[in-house]
Structure 1
Amino acid sequence: MIELYSWPTPNGHKVHIMLEEVGLPYTIHAIDIAAGDQFDPEFLKISPNNKMPAIVDSDGPGGRPYSLFESGAILMYLAEKTGKLLPEETRARYDVIQWLMFQMGGVGPMLGQAHHFRQYAPEKIDYAIQRYTKEAGRLYGVIDRRLKDHDYLAGDYSIADIASFPWLRSHKNQGQNLEDYPNLKRWFDAIAARPAVQRGLQVLSDRSRSGPMGEKEREMLFGAAQYQRR
């Protein structure tokens, strides 16, 4: 059994979708990042960087419980555990890994900054908005060019696609229009139509934030609580 500690964010949805795709049983534990659950000492034992998602596999390596944080690492672990969505052959395997790293090192951080400065920053900083909106557009363009000759990022559907798709769901908040990236849009629509993806996106969907961000939520996500030594 996989014990999943998560919240309905792009990184959380990566693991929700993966678990649905590979068919592993899991129990969900909501980590309400707006309420500060990520700073709970018990959660920090699993995820020392106070970020979700994280997992505990009760049947880990050697048959002993194993905890893991960082969404990209979790995707790789679950792929290896099940033998799905990450090829064994070296070239094909590293085709997947390089696009997974592209998401972890580029798509997530840069699109997250575009989203932050366009939606959440307490003051509108034009330089930051322009810089990250343009970088988001550049990354969308990289994906669009890749998908001109490939159905999926690494050829076949894989953890690379699972990692990237949730981040592109907020394209409007990142200042992007999917119609400007026809190959990406085809890929996006194909993934969105997958039953396992649809089930994964429903995980904790009733806990998604609606309406403007409150002061407590802003403090927990962006304020001094993030920087306290623990």
Structure 2
Amino acid sequence: MIDLYYWTTPNGHKITIFLEEAELPYTIHPIDIGTGDQFDPDFLKIAPNNRIPAIVDNEPTDGGAPLSVFESGAILLYLAEKTGRFLPQDFRPRLKVMEWLFWQMGGLGPMLGQNSHFALAAPEKIPYAINRYVTETARLYGVLNTQLQTNEYIAGDYSIADMAAYPWIVPHRKHQQNLEDFPHVKRWFEAMQSRPAVQRAYAQGKALDDRIAASKAQAKP
């Protein structure tokens, strides 16, 4: 059983997608980042960077005591190694998946996160910052579009690279991107969106959002 410490962000969705694809049993422990749950001392014991997601594997690969893993890329790699799925064993295909996983972790996620911050969350709208990150988002979409021109999925076969990238493309409208401008990304996005495991993962997120909203509504005087 996997204990998943989770919130409904792109990085959180990555892990529910994998768990649903692999049909691994898991329990979600909500970490409400809007109320500061990520700074709780108990959570920091498994996620010292005070970010979701994190997991505790109660039946780890080495057969030892429960094992905690933080950082979404590390979690995807761990789960892929644990299950032997969505990460090729052959050297060159494996390296290709690793390249695109790290591309997402080092580029797509951070840049799109800054896009969201300056365009939607920052108390002061700074045109230079908004333009910088919208432009960089478009560049990264272009990189992905080129890769998908000759590949059904990002690294060839379906892999953790796709699970890592897809949740960051879901809010493309908020990031001021039009998928019609990136036809290969659009084709891949629709293929990802249609996968039953991806749909189940996002249903988990919606159910949690709905429960939290209902709880907050009840708490109002």
Normalising by structure 2, what TM-score? 0.93
Q: Residue 116 of structure 1 corresponds to which residue in structure 2?
A: 117
Aligned to 1:31: 31
Question: Contact 1:2/1:57 (CA < 8 Å) preserved in 2?
Answer: yes
* Matched pairs, number: 211
Compute the displacement of 1:208 (Å): 3.4
Give yes or no for the alignment of 1:10 onto 2:10: yes
CA distance in structure 1 between the partners assigned to 2:53 and 2:161 by the alignment: 17
Contact 1:53 1:69 in 2 (8 A): yes
Runs of 4 or more consecutive aligned structure 1 residues displaced over 3 Å after TM superposition? 206-211
Q: Distance in 1 between matches of 2:24 and 2:208?
A: 23
Between the aligned partners of 2:170 and 2:118, the Cα distance in structure 1 is 17
- Equivalent in the alignment of 1:103: 104
CA distance in 1, matches of 2:50, 2:13: 17
Please, which runs of 5 or more residues in structure 1 have no aligned partner?
Answer: 212-230
Residue in structure 2 matched with residue 148 of structure 1 by the alignment: 149
The superposition leaves residues 144-170 of structure 1 with CA deviations (integer Å, 9 ceiling, x where unpaired) of 011111101100010000000000001
Rounded to whole Å, the distance in 2 between the matches of 1:33 and 1:59 is 27
- For 1:71 and 1:142, the matched residues in 2 are separated by 22
Whether the aligned pair in 2 keeps the contact of 1:68 and 1:74 (CA below 8 Å) is yes
Q: How does 1:159-178 map to 2 (within 5 A)?
A: 159-178=160-179
Q: Secondary structure at the match of 2:149?
A: coil
User: What whole-Å deviation, never above 9, does each CA across 1:12-43 have from its counterpart, x for those lacking one?
Assistant: 00001000001110011000000110000000
Instruction: Judge conservation of contact 2:13–2:205 (CA < 8 Å) in 1.
Output: no
Mapped to 2, the partners of 1:112 and 1:65 lie a distance apart of: 32
Partner of 2:218: none
Shift of 1:205: 1.4
Query: Partner amino acid for 1:105?
Result: G
- Name the counterpart of 1:20: 20
| Higher RCO structure (Cα 8 Å, ≥6 apart) | 1
Equivalence for 2:89: 88
Distance 2:110 2:84 in 1: 28
Question: Which residue in 2 is equivalent to 1:196?
Answer: 197
What do residues 164-202 of structure 1 show as CA deviations (whole Å, max 9, x unaligned)? 000000111111001100000000000000000000111
Amino acid of the structure 1 residue aligned with 2:96: D
Contact conserved, 1:30 with 1:204, CA < 8 A, in 2? no
Residue type of the alignment partner of 1:48 = P
Q: Percent identity?
A: 59
> What is the alpha-carbon distance in structure 2 between the residues aligned to residue 62 and residue 120 of structure 1?
43
Distance across 1 between alignment mates of 2:102 and 2:153: 15
Distance 1:125 1:207 in 2: 33
Instruction: Give CA-to-partner distance per residue, 1:29-71, whole Å, 9 cap, x none.
Output: 0000001100000000000000000000001133221000000
Structure 2 gaps of 5+ residues are: 214-221
